[in-house]
């Protein structure tokens, strides 16, 4: 019997040791692994927030790229318009040099000068002529232009037409010089900004 008692006691001890070991292992696991779990969970949450933030930033960048693309298109259109005006001005300059030699170029005001609708513009010609026909138009090709005779460089009468004639804040002027009974071809065209 003593042998059985020893075996039973040993079994009870072994069983209770196993129970205690299992319970302490679970507690030890919780104590040891919980901080790592929390750390990994925090890192994953941070990573998720970073990815969502990057996604939003990429969308914003794409929108900015589209806006920049539109701006580049507008700039290209403006450059094309300027190129057309340059070509047209060169053609006018070539046609202004006629056989009679009465042609002239506008040297002042310069391209893009700011002028008012009510104060007459002062025009200087390369030929120093004081009598000429002033043409005022809303388009660079001088289509639909109105004109008036300028005598002794006094543009006040011709400029009085600007208020009724101008349809925007850009205006184009050109001149034809007068020599005896003939007049020249158009001079160069100058774009003016109206205030």
Whether 110 and 102 have beta carbons less than 8 Å apart is answered as no
Number of domains in the chain: 2
Are residues 105 and 88 part of one domain?
no
Inform me whether the pLDDT recorded for 75 exceeds 90: yes
Q: Of 37, 63, 96, at which residue does a domain stop?
A: 96
- Phi and psi at 104, nearest 5°, equal -150, 160
Instruction: Quote the mean pLDDT of the chain.
Output: 79
Full-model pTM? 0.47
Average pLDDT over residues 77-99: 75
**pLDDT value, residue 99:** 44
132-137 and 170-179 strand pairing: antiparallel
Residue 62's domain comprises 1-96
Helix (H) or strand (E) holding 4: helix 2-96
Average pLDDT over residues 21-28: 57
Are residues 76 and 40 part of one domain?
yes
**146-189 pLDDT per residue, tens:** 888 888 888 888 888 877 788 888 989 888 887 666 667 778 88
Are residues 48 and 87 part of one domain?
yes
**30-67 pLDDT per residue, tens:** 566 677 778 888 888 888 888 888 888 888 888 899 99
Q: Of 38, 70, 96, at which residue does a domain stop?
A: 96
pLDDT-above-70 percentage for the chain: 74
Residue 158: which CATH number? 2.60.40
Whether 193 and 121 have beta carbons less than 8 Å apart is answered as no
Are residues 54 and 125 part of one domain?
no
């Amino acid at each position: 019997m003593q042998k059985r008692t020893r075996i039973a006691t040993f079994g009870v001890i072994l069983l209770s040791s196993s129970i205690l070991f299992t319970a302490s292992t679970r507690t030890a696991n919780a104590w040891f692994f919980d901080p790592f779990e929390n750390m990994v969970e925090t890192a994953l949450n941070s990573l998720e927030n970073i990815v969502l933030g990057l996604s939003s930033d990429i969308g914003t960048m794409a929108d900015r790229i589209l806006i920049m693309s539109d701006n580049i298109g507008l700039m290209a259109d403006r450059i094309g318009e300027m190129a057309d005006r340059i070509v047209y001005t060169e053609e006018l300059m070539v046609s202004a040099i006629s056989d009679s030699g009465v042609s002239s170029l506008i040297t002042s005001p310069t391209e893009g000068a700011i002028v008012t609708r009510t104060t007459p513009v002062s025009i200087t010609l390369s030929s120093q002529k004081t009598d000429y026909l002033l043409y005022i138009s809303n388009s660079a090709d001088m289509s639909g232009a109105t004109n008036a005779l300028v005598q002794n460089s006094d543009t006040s009468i011709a400029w009085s037409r600007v208020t009724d004639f101008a349809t925007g804040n850009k205006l184009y002027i050109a001149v034809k010089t007068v020599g005896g009974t003939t007049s020249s071809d158009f001079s160069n065209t100058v774009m003016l900004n109206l205030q």
